[in-house]
Structure 1
Amino acid sequence: MPIKSSRDVKCSVLLSCSNSVICNRRGTLTCSNYCSRQCQEAHWSSHKKYCKHPYNRLDWKPAWITENRSPAFVGGDTQSHFGAHWAPEYLWGNTPAVNCLQLEHNEGVLESVDKDFNLCFAASGDIRNMVMTVNGLPDNYEGHCKILLNDRSDLVSTRNILIFRLSPNDVRKKSFPIRGAGSLSIAQSAVKIFGEPLAMLRATHTLNDSRKAMHDVMLSPHRVDYRDRYLSGLQPSHRLSFLRFRESGVLLHFADHVGSETFQDPNRLLFTASGKWVTMDNANPLSSWDVNEVLKTGQAYGLDHADIYGCLFFHVKAQFTEFARRVEKFHIDIHVSQLDAHVASGLLQKGELNPDLFGINPAFDRIETSNIADYAGIPSILQDWSAVLNRENKHAVVLVYLMNWVMKRPGASFSMMGEGMGLNLKGSTNVKVLLERTSSMLGVNFRTLLGNGDIQRAPTFYNVLENVDVFLDNHKQFQDHLNSEGISNVPKLYKLQLRPRNRIYPKRFGVALGARPDALPSVTKTEFYNIYIIGGCNPGDRYLEFGLSGIH
């Protein structure tokens, strides 16, 4: 989505609709940040569309309730996205951005001021983890930071390159000067990186056509029950913010949407060359960032927490602005490659992936592998990447993220969708405790919910079921999964060990960094909502850190 720059939250209203004079005073009233009652009343004819919207009511109900029918996701259509006739792209991450350095828990902040770092993002997706990691360097950093940013998707790689403000006309170059003493280099030929993406950039579909293509997916009437299931767990104002973002396709704070019509050119890398929207219908940039931090940033800019996507706008802007400042101030070299991660590791081991930058014997202090292990297996990841881990740095680590392990291990999840929908709770004490605890976090009386004669149509029922694994103690099942992956052979084969306590990222969402391996989430109701409901974090996800053997 396009991003419009703004230094502060201004009043929402056009002072005069006849001459389109924009009010530049600071917005202070909670309802969409109006500066005064006068402006609020002047803008009422436009604003009431949202203020009076059904989403903004506490008694809003999903369509399957108001239409007296069963939701589509019960015993019917189970496809995960609308428009399955083309392969969707994953352009926004579905987990909060990670600072892969966490110097205060590893090398030390003061000790790292003049230290050189080599960082590898083996399957980067977007650049958010790289941005957060660079922003985690000391403020007075004087070392040399070299970064490998790799992803096998040509569209993802192209988007990442263009974020650095390169012109598509310059793609024949292999190295580009950037702010500061560093450089940006590219591994592939212009044809390989800019084939399909270049066709997308050159496409001529109109703004109206693009908006319709976006709405056909993101607001598809065929997917209304899936959207409503998500929206039913949100606060009314957040439902409204969600709607406004999907209607406009522009990431702005709610007050500034009065000027969103100034965007007349679609972001063409979000559409195929023929004009189709490329992401899944549940793609949500809010899932890419820590919502607790997003809200703190919004508050610092004077936004009310109700404007959740406005808070996201300011948070992303602040992170990218700081990243740009550091790239200009520090010595940072970034190399972008578009390779399968296995191929990238092979080239590195041969000293053939930009040896001028990484040398013929590369050694990385952090290697972030996303969730490749879900498909390739942990042993394959360690075999590929342990050879290029910096053995001279006792804090060097290979980061592994697991999303799908619960589906492979019986008893790892109490998810009761599908065949488990009619679970008999008699005698299932642990299940009852989990359901009651989850219900409490959601402000739901579970006993009353169970007494609902039509429970399978109750929105709160699905909100509870989708989050019941948050407090599930599945440590034994996880250990069984790791053992089945051959973790016991890791020290012998790769001279690495699984850190007993993580020092980069918590092992599971909702637990503290450095918590014991079997720790369960300990969160407030607000944190629960921010992490799992509007933040969309998956309770089953796990982060692993493999460091050097003998180092604790």
Structure 2
Amino acid sequence: MDVQLGCCWRCENPIKRNVPCDFCGEAKYCGEICRFRDQWRHTPQCAEWKPKRCSNPKCCKESAQLKECSACCDTWYCGEACQRQHWKAHKPSCHERTKEIRETVAPLKVVLRYNSYYVNLRCPYYIGNALAIDMLNLPGNELCSEDVKSEKTSKQDPLKDSYSILSAGCGNLRNWIHTVASLPNGFKGTLHTVLDDYDPYVQARNVLQLYMMIKYCDDPNIAEGITTIWYSLHLPEKDYKLLTDCLRALLGYSADDLDKLTGGALHIAQGTLTAMRPVWKAWLELECRKGYPNYIDLHEQRKRLLYQYQELEEGQRLYRKGLPSELIPSFDEYDQHGNFIPPVNGRPLPYDNPTLTGYLFTEGESRGVGTTETILEDNVRFMVAGKYVYCIEYQLMPFSEWDYLKVKKHHYNKSMVVMFHSFISDQIKQTIASIKAGAQRVSVMICNCVHISRYINEEYGESSESYRFDRIFTSNIADFIGTQVVLKAMKPLLNRQNKCSTIITQYWNWYFVGPYYNRDDEIFTASNKRLAAFDIHSDDIEMLYRLAIPLVRKEECRKDIYRGYYFLQEYFNNMIWFINYLRAEYLATDEGAQSTKPPTFQKVKQSEGLQLRDFRRGNANKVVPFRYRRSVRASVNQTRGMDRMLEWHLA
């Protein structure tokens, strides 16, 4: 659950008088009103967490100790006798579930086999498509007294100890920045973070921003400048000068130079540095001043990209439709000009931002993601200044990767740009303060994460033993190569001395494969039966009537289907779909499988000798939420009802 410990599950204010859900006991509220208003959204969760009732109608015993049918994972029994007695009635639905799993295996094998060699990404992910998370979360793990007592963690004083994080497929710096900014007060230890990605463009941008934080850590305005350079299409003169000065400096450094210059805070292997240099050089050579010959004119490129792909324009319309009304004017301003900077004297910004350029594949093109050498060879083809174009997918915005609930609590403003700019700058300031205190060390790598153990051994030799991690965050790499492949690659890198060590896998595309795809009608029907009695005073009602109900009632609104579809996921229990997807995926990636019989979910939970925290047994995740609530974030964050995060720990 994405609510801070000790806060109400509805309003998120600190709980003074705890009012739990009567059925599951997991959901906590500050009073009866919040519990009543949250009942519609909480019901699907509650159905999974509350004590189960025996599916045998002659028994109906209710208990938390019931066992599930291992074939379908959708019915529960108090014993074998009840299961046998109910089998005749249960058999058709049980066979239907297992049939769905078997039907998913074949298309999954095709998808995973293809994605083992290629990734269908059209552009570098300078802006992410998921919320920034705290990858360490000490309060929920090493600092949690229950964990220290029951798991006997090796951390004697968690606030003074050292931790290591591997962020595989790291994307931009948002997760690292949010992790550092979320370190608890009184933290006196150190954090070593390894940022790995196969994309030299993304890593070139990350290193540029890291260098700015370290080099200009005493500049009180550097955080605001970094935020502007990170997201804004156009730049003021001072920020453009800062950017070009840093690019020139980076081109002149060796890996050893950077290590010494930053006091060991930033470590980059020479091969990785070599791969990023062409990107910095190309950015520096682009003509970014308006009115000059060969001016790149990113504003015009951005407009052409929108017109070329009509679905992007449609996506913006739907996004705007779901925003709180008071935020729409500021979004329109951002959408028109692409500037992510608070108003400055009303004057136009004179420079374009070269770090928003890179490769942009046409639809259907793919990139190889084999060995590290293959990656670099493939990308070098695009490292020519004349080929660099504006390459930000239109649906990727600053507002989609920082939690709106945290942003508006930090500094609410009717201007989305002012509000988010202030929050991100503050996160960067906290990160810089931690760097200055000597608490941060960052290593940057460019390699396929599946081969990262080999890369670390080759790069660091005997000292590679020090590269053992308390947390390993793998983004949604499992969507492309399968969970078992990810776990097999990452397990050797876990810190076995810390019982809180965790691997995190994300899933964004699971429902696009097999019989789960295009079941929106089933979701609408089931959800609206429940929503027919929706409380008119509930905080959700505005979103419901603006986005969901019109879709169901008006056939001509089918273009809006996914906006309402994702919203309604909050009110529909699709847990069995996800569980059976994981079972199908296990079978699809099990090279030694001799039969098509789906594995039990218990077997899946013990993949590669690790143990999955069972998300059906209460609020099980300890590092990140199993999923984020969409309804409380309006449309600002573009969260989808189907995204999931799993946690794996040493058995």
1:496 counterpart (606, 610, 630)? 610
**Structure-2 residue corresponding to 1:52:** none
**Structure-1 residue corresponding to 2:508:** 403
- Does 435-444 or 206-215 show the bigger shift? 435-444
Separation of aligned partners in 1, 2:303 and 2:208: 25
Q: Does 1:381 align with 2:513?
A: no
Aligned residues: 428
- The Cα of 1:283 is off from its aligned counterpart by 1.4
Contact between 2:204 and 2:276, CA under 8 Å: does it hold in 1? yes
Paired letter, 1:548: L
Contact between 1:200 and 1:269, CA under 8 Å: does it hold in 2? yes
**Structure-2 residue corresponding to 1:87:** 122
Q: Does 1:330 align with 2:430?
A: no
Separation of aligned partners in 2, 1:286 and 1:294: 10
1:541 counterpart (637, 643, 647)? 643
Paired letter, 1:345: S
Separation of aligned partners in 2, 1:120 and 1:372: 14
- The Cα of 1:509 is off from its aligned counterpart by 1.1
Q: Given the superposition, is the C-alpha separation of residues 334 and 535 from structure 1 closer, same or farther in structure 2, using an over 3 Å criterion?
A: same
Paired letter, 1:533: S
Q: Does 1:154 align with 2:200?
A: yes
Separation of aligned partners in 2, 1:331 and 1:446: 46
Q: Does 1:203 align with 2:298?
A: no
**Structure-1 residue corresponding to 2:370:** none
Paired letter, 1:543: M
TM-score, with structure 2 as normaliser: 0.60
Indicate the structure with greater helix content. Answer: 2
How do 1:467-482 residues align onto structure 2 when only pairs under 5 Å count?
467-482=567-582
Separation of aligned partners in 2, 1:545 and 1:448: 35
Separation of aligned partners in 2, 1:198 and 1:171: 13
Query: Could you say what the CA RMSD is over the residues aligned between the two structures, in angstroms?
Result: 3.3
- The Cα of 1:385 is off from its aligned counterpart by 0.3
Contact between 1:175 and 1:183, CA under 8 Å: does it hold in 2? no
Separation of aligned partners in 1, 2:254 and 2:548: 65
- The Cα of 1:409 is off from its aligned counterpart by 4.8
Paired letter, 2:530: V
- The Cα of 1:470 is off from its aligned counterpart by 2.3
1:194 counterpart (277, 287, 305)? 277
Q: Is the partner of 2:645 in helix, strand or coil?
A: strand
Q: Does 1:276 align with 2:389?
A: yes
Paired letter, 2:137: Q
Separation of aligned partners in 2, 1:384 and 1:242: 42
Write the deviation string for residues 223-262 of structure 1: whole angstroms up to 9, x where unpaired.
5433222222223332221221233332123xx254462x
Contact between 2:550 and 2:557, CA under 8 Å: does it hold in 1? no
How do 1:182-331 residues align onto structure 2 when only pairs under 5 Å count?
182-187=264-269, 188-207=271-290, 209-218=297-306, 222=310, 223-253=312-342, 256-259=343-346, 261=348, 263-272=349-358, 273-274=385-386, 276-299=389-412, 304=413, 306-331=414-439
Separation of aligned partners in 2, 1:461 and 1:406: 16
- The Cα of 1:145 is off from its aligned counterpart by 2.0
Separation of aligned partners in 2, 1:180 and 1:465: 48
How do 1:49-198 residues align onto structure 2 when only pairs under 5 Å count?
87-108=122-143, 111-164=157-210, 165=212, 166=246, 167-174=249-256, 176-177=258-259, 182-187=264-269, 188-198=271-281
Paired letter, 2:265: S
Contact between 1:100 and 1:133, CA under 8 Å: does it hold in 2? yes
TM-score, with structure 1 as normaliser: 0.70
Identity, in percent, stands at 21
Contact between 1:182 and 1:331, CA under 8 Å: does it hold in 2? no
Paired letter, 2:567: N
Q: Given the superposition, is the C-alpha separation of residues 163 and 435 from structure 1 closer, same or farther in structure 2, using an over 3 Å criterion?
A: farther
**Structure-2 residue corresponding to 1:394:** 499
Contact between 1:490 and 1:496, CA under 8 Å: does it hold in 2? no
Q: Given the superposition, is the C-alpha separation of residues 266 and 86 from structure 1 closer, same or farther in structure 2, using an over 3 Å criterion?
A: farther
Write the deviation string for residues 483-505 of structure 1: whole angstroms up to 9, x where unpaired.
22336456766331001210111
**Structure-2 residue corresponding to 1:77:** none
Contact between 1:435 and 1:464, CA under 8 Å: does it hold in 2? no
Paired letter, 2:352: P
Contact between 2:473 and 2:504, CA under 8 Å: does it hold in 1? yes
**Structure-2 residue corresponding to 1:483:** 583
- The Cα of 1:182 is off from its aligned counterpart by 4.2
Paired letter, 2:635: I
Contact between 1:248 and 1:260, CA under 8 Å: does it hold in 2? no
Higher RCO (CA 8 Å, separation ≥ 6 residues): 2
Q: Given the superposition, is the C-alpha separation of residues 88 and 264 from structure 1 closer, same or farther in structure 2, using an over 3 Å criterion?
A: same
**Structure-2 residue corresponding to 1:444:** 545
Separation of aligned partners in 1, 2:300 and 2:267: 37
Q: Given the superposition, is the C-alpha separation of residues 267 and 436 from structure 1 closer, same or farther in structure 2, using an over 3 Å criterion?
A: farther
**Structure-2 residue corresponding to 1:344:** 452
- The Cα of 1:318 is off from its aligned counterpart by 0.3
Q: Is the partner of 1:314 in helix, strand or coil?
A: helix
Write the deviation string for residues 297-319 of structure 1: whole angstroms up to 9, x where unpaired.
223xxxx3x21221100000000
Q: Is the partner of 1:336 in helix, strand or coil?
A: strand
Paired letter, 1:444: Y
Write the deviation string for residues 505-531 of structure 1: whole angstroms up to 9, x where unpaired.
111112xxxxxxxxxxxxxxxx7252x
Separation of aligned partners in 2, 1:258 and 1:327: 33
Q: Is the partner of 2:411 in helix, strand or coil?
A: helix
**Structure-1 residue corresponding to 2:80:** none
- The Cα of 1:221 is off from its aligned counterpart by 9.0
Contact between 1:151 and 1:339, CA under 8 Å: does it hold in 2? yes
Paired letter, 1:333: R
Q: Given the superposition, is the C-alpha separation of residues 409 and 235 from structure 1 closer, same or farther in structure 2, using an over 3 Å criterion?
A: same
Separation of aligned partners in 2, 1:246 and 1:446: 21
Contact between 2:140 and 2:622, CA under 8 Å: does it hold in 1? yes
Separation of aligned partners in 2, 1:143 and 1:460: 49
Q: Is the partner of 2:157 in helix, strand or coil?
A: helix
Write the deviation string for residues 85-116 of structure 1: whole angstroms up to 9, x where unpaired.
99322211111111011111100079322111
Q: Is the partner of 1:118 in helix, strand or coil?
A: strand
Separation of aligned partners in 1, 2:259 and 2:472: 25
Contact between 1:413 and 1:469, CA under 8 Å: does it hold in 2? no
Q: Given the superposition, is the C-alpha separation of residues 466 and 145 from structure 1 closer, same or farther in structure 2, using an over 3 Å criterion?
A: closer
Contact between 1:151 and 1:338, CA under 8 Å: does it hold in 2? yes
Contact between 2:484 and 2:608, CA under 8 Å: does it hold in 1? no
Contact between 1:154 and 1:197, CA under 8 Å: does it hold in 2? no
**Structure-1 residue corresponding to 2:530:** 433
Q: Which runs of 5+ in 1 are unaligned?
A: 1-84, 511-526
